[in-house]
Amino acid sequence: MSIAMAERAKLEALRARFGAAIRRADLPGNGRMFVTVDPAAIREICRHVFREMGARYVISIGADDRPFSGEFLVAHNFAFDGDGVLCGLLAHLPGDRPALDSISDVVPAANWAEREFRDLVGIEPMGHRYPKRLVLPDGWPEGVHPLRKDVSWDDVPKDFDEDLEFKFDEAPDGCVVVPFGPFHPTLDEPAHFRLYVEGEMVRGCEYRGFMAHRGIEKLAESVLSYNDIPMMAERICGICGCVHSVAYVQAVEDAAGVRVPERAEYIRTIMLEMERLHSHLLWVGLACHIVGFDTLFMQSFRIREPIMWMAERMTGNRKTYALCLVGGVRWDIAPETGAALRGVLDTLEKEWRGVVDAVTGDRNIQARTRGVGVAGPDLVKDVGLVGPVARASGVAIDCRRDHPYAAYGRVAFEVITERGGDVWSRIVVRMKEVFESIGIIRQCLDKMSPGPIQARVDDELPVGRMGLSSVEAPRGEAHHFLVTGEGNRPRRWRVRAPTYQNLQGVPAMIRDQQLADMTIALGSIDPCFSCTDRMETVDVRSGLRRTWTQEDLVRLLKKGGA
């Protein structure tokens, strides 16, 4: 069944079931569906789509559309992975009363996303079971929602109490609270877990994150322009930056109908796979460090280094490649660079085989990771786990295959799955994916033909169009939602990093586990907090030395941005 037919079939099914509650539908025929529904029926429609039609929950977006239509907008995005369809269920809410039914009791994965639009856009998810603040700190005044269009990007509310301590939930009876983070040797970025520990067993936890929220989305909507944003997007994450930059430009291209030259698609694919290579190598090293096996940690980093050098040779940087623009890429791959890349891949393949043998042959690592941090297929579905975490539980989802983008439709590769659902399975999945990535890069190098790498974009991009883009990051699906806007910049851009969903599964994975297993269970989702928070590490108080105040930062931003 073609994608267009699958879309029509889905729409017919929805119409037959809900009739007039389906108000409008756009089927552009490229694997995207935008269905405008009656806000009163949103909960039931989402339940039907999620439970009965078997869709995977992706993300919920809240947007302030008042300057254009006088309404607020909520989109619940779902993916039909088997049919290659990404579907947005849209609800328009009156500008004076932004509230709609919470779907998080029927779609548990929507928990965070609803709390986020409650914080940032001020749309109330009615009946949400845990309506605590997610993104905004407790000292932020009530009623100020930063992503609303009437709040300026550089505005700090006068009564913002920066130093107010967070209010935490009560720990259960008989449990001691062990803080894990914001600063801890195994956390590379700030996040705070309050673990409820009984003896050596973890009974639950509370998560407070979003400590490095940079407001990138707000900047994109108010200061930057279409082609500035890719450079900002890749600074969302220190490891999978290229993923966000590609996902963003694809969302714009999807919304505006820009066609990308074939060679540019191959180059994007190659860089994405390079990123997967160095990310997985880094992760296997870190996992070994967490279980106390520093020798393999050092080996992984040694093997990984040539990839970084290669990336530097191809783009000028080890990271933040500044690769993508709307309509193409900025760096071409010269024939001699391609040859050097093949050499690096050959060495990597050989050396990585050695590491894989060492890890799979080590009974200690297996004893340490088998049966730890288990996530079954039900948890994957309910919480919307993605990437290697889902694949390690036997759920074969991979955007590269299910929603092909860039050149992935033209290369052959295998989606690696395991059955165990535990940390060990995640290690195995990631180790095997390295070989698939090597294969993909080789195929791209073979199939690439000379040609332009950038499409001409002469006209202004159309206004008010929606674009969706899912890119398989090393950690899972990175999803970008975008509404094109006036002034050469988007109206709304929402980034959902894979860790955003995977982190929500962590409390279930660590419950009733040994405290000693907590770090590797958390580590096994390969958490990336800055991705999730979408922020830059800007530490403020360094005592006697240089203190970056908020004013300094704002001034710097003004200098750079405007």
Partner 1 sequence: MSFLEIEPFRIALYVVGALAFVGANAAYLVWVERKAAGRFQRRAGPTEVGPAGLLQPVADAIKLMSKQIIVPPGSDALLFRIAPVMVMAPALMCFATIPFSDSIVARNIDVGLLMIFAFGSINVMAVMLGGWASRNKYAIISAARVVSQNVAYEIPMLLTVITMLMVAGTLNLHEIVKQQEAGFWAWNIFRLGTNPLMPVTFVIFFTCMLAETNRAPFDMAEAESELVAGAYTEYSGMGFGVFFMGEYANIVIGCAVATVLFLGGWGSPVGFLPGVWWFLAKMYFLIFTVIWIRWTFPRTQFYGLLNLSWKILIPFSLATLVLTSIVMKIPRMF
To partner 1, the closest distance from the beta carbon of 543 in angstroms equals 16
Q: Does 370 bind partner 1 (CB under 8 A)?
A: no
Radius of gyration, CA atoms only, the chain? 23
Q: Which of 152, 225, 364, 549 binds partner 1 (CB under 8 A)?
A: 364
Nearer to partner 1, 184 or 432 (CB): 184
Whole-angstrom distance, CA of residue 473 vs CA of residue 496: 11
Written in H, E and C, the secondary structure of 90-117 is: EEEEECCCCEEECCCCCCHHHHHHHHHH
| Candidate residues 60, 245, 299, 469; the one interacting with partner 1 per rule CB under 8 A | 299
Q: Name which of 291 and 390 has its Cβ closer to partner 1.
A: 291
Evaluate whether 181 touches 192 at the Cβ level (below 8 Å): yes
Q: How far apart are CA 82 and CA 89, in angstroms?
A: 18
Q: For the CB of residue 155, give the shortest distance to partner 1 in the complex, in Å.
A: 39
Closer residue to partner 1 (CB): 39 or 523: 523
Interface residue with partner 1, options 257, 292, 462, 464 (CB under 8 A)? 292
288 binds partner 1 (CB under 8 A): yes
**Residue 125 forms beta bridges with which residues?**
100
Is the Cβ of residue 174 or residue 560 nearer to partner 1 in the bound state?
Answer: 174
Calpha distance 324→54 (Å, rounded): 34
Around Cβ 472, how many Cβ atoms within 10 Å?
26
Tell me whether residue 54 or residue 199 sits nearer to partner 1 (CB atom). 199
Question: Is residue 302 involved in binding partner 1 (CB under 8 A)?
Answer: yes
Q: Verify binding: residue 362, partner 1, rule CB under 8 A.
A: yes
Among 1, 126, 339, 516, binds partner 1 (CB under 8 A): 516
Indicate whether 356 belongs to the interface with partner 1 (CB under 8 A). Answer: no
Q: Which of 164, 176, 334, 339 binds partner 1 (CB under 8 A)?
A: 176
Strand, coil or helix: 333: coil
Nearest to partner 1 of 132, 184 (CB atom): 184
Among 36, 186, 222, 454, the residue binding partner 1 under the rule CB under 8 A is 186
User: Applying CB under 8 A, which of residues 27, 103, 212, 291 lies at the interface with partner 1?
Assistant: 291
Residue-wise burial string across 1-31, b where 16 or more C-beta atoms lie within 10 A, e elsewhere: eebeebbbebbeebeeebeebbeebbbbeeb
Distances, alpha carbon 521 to alpha carbons 181, 216, 398, 473, in Å: 15, 29, 22, 20
Smallest separation (angstroms) from partner 1 to the CB of 178: 5
- Residue from 514, 536, 553, 554 binding partner 1 (CB under 8 A): 514
Q: Is 194 in the site for partner 1 (CB under 8 A)?
A: no
CA-CA distance, 344 to 23, in Å (whole number)?
Answer: 54
For residue 222, what are its two tokens?
A: 């108010």
Does residue 358 touch partner 1 according to CB under 8 A?
no
Task: Tell me the C-alpha distance between 42 and 533, whole Å.
Answer: 27
Phi, psi of 412 (to 5 degrees): -100, 135
Q: How far is the CB of 182 from partner 1 (least distance, A)?
A: 13
Interaction of residue 262 with partner 1, rule CB under 8 A: no
Contact 473, 240 (CB under 8 A): yes
Interface residues with partner 1 (CB under 8 A) are: 176, 178-179, 184-186, 200, 288-296, 298-299, 302, 362, 364-365, 367-368, 514-520
